[in-house]
Structure 1
Amino acid sequence: MTEKQQSLTVGRVAELVGVSVRTLHHWDTIDLVRPSGRSWSDYRLYDADDIARIHRVLVYREIGLPLAEIARILDDPEVDPREHLQRQRALLAERISRLTKAARAVDEMIKRTTPMNQDKNIKLSPEEQTRIFGTDWDPAWQDEARERWGDSEQWAQSVERTGHYSASDWKRVAEETAALDADLAEAMQRGVEPGSVEANALAERHRASISQHYDCTASMHVVLARMYTEDPRFTAHYDRRAEGLAAWLRTVIEESARTQGVDPETAGWE
């Protein structure tokens, strides 16, 4: 009997599909993917249909659907298998298009932040910003940020640090930001509780990403997190990755700050 025909343990399935054993256990608990069998010693055993369902979950999770919505789609008896696959394909194509556009924007920014271009002090015009970042980008946002924080120490730090970024620095920042957003969405969908060790580690990772541009204290982090739910632009940024992510991230940041002696209710820009 081949491995494809056998029932596989949770550890082997985790290796095959590229998710953690903990994630598979969580999906079992919430009835998203339940293994069809059990061994004589009560270990979970997954058959070919179970693994096929896991792959469908991964596709929908990749495009940012919440786990509850994924379960509803997969368990809907009215969904035709062919139409189901076509829906997956269309959603993936849409995501690929967005990521390709984002990658091109990063490539353009890398070109403009090479030492040669920095020496020429080239700045993006509003038209160029719109062309690079798409129609959702509003060039006025940069002016708004400058008006709001232009006199702050943090703005000066950001200008100084980003002004000296190399092409590899920009590439690293872009990759780390994308990976962080994906990990935040995955943690929320997996049910990671704000205030837990894992959630606090993610909060610190998020704060560290900001501190690449300027020194961000735990108190400042809380102030920024308020905007994630109060400013629709920030909310849209995170909730496009997973519905409710902005509110969850704000809570994660606030609970992490508590462990560092910061009261989220009174936190200020300090």
Structure 2
Amino acid sequence: MRYSVRQVASFAGVTVRTLHHYDKAGLLTPSARSRAGYRLYDESDLARLQQILFYRELGFSLDEITAILDDPEANALDQLRARQRQLADEIARLQRLAEVAERAIEVQQTGVTLTPEERFEVFGEIRFDLSYATERQLKWAGTAGQREAMARAAAHTKEDWRRLMAEAAAWRERLLDAYDAGEPSDGERAMDLAEEHRRHITRWFTSCPPDMHRRIADDFVADPRAFALVVPPAQQRPELAGYLGKAVHANASRIETGGAPNPWDRRASRDARAAQDSKEDR
């Protein structure tokens, strides 16, 4: 049975122009022509076309394919092995490029220039990402605050991140202690912890006025991924995000009414009193 050039093009998923080109190049000459001069392909032609397309898919040039198919001395197996080595090298090169691109994307998204190994060493189970992409977070994209946070994060050294994370871990322990002790979310201790968090953001990333802090806290309540940035899931408690959110709102109101003292001064006073009490007990 014979097939027209359009039928073969349809079978093979190539264009008529491609088949014409193969014919002119001497790579695939149809076995017959119709009385009107149209190309006609038989089963052997289709088998050869299948081989051509196979080698083309592997990246062989038309001249290389011609040599493999038409030269009895050509060793197709050697050609395939050589191509396999070339493809393996190309795959490795592309993988390296993909890793570079992924690294660039991470830096753009998070502002963190640490290597993956350094990230794991510094952040542990906390997946640090300044741009956690949620529906709510889209409102931060491109804002002056986000740009400043990204720029400052990118400038942090590994030691800066160590200090930052140590500070955050110490704060987190005090937050959990307050929550577990049943301290009210609008009480002095909880509000002081909220104020520490606000100043932590200002010190390491971007200015965080009370209204901005409220919006951040609202994200903690609305999105577990956001809250996981400050308290990893393994340390979370039921309703802890809401507890922190309420403390942040209470502290913001306290600041706006002029009643927010420096929490570090207050904690220092408490520590001093505790030390004095311990000395007196001895």
The answer to whether the superposition gives a TM-score over 0.5 is no
Whose Rg is larger? 2
The interval holding the TM-score normalised by the smaller chain is 0.3 to 0.5
The structure showing larger relative contact order (alpha-carbon pairs under 8 Å, at least 6 residues apart) is 1
Q: Scaled by the length of structure 1, what TM-score is found?
A: 0.43
Q: TM-score, normalised by structure 2?
A: 0.42
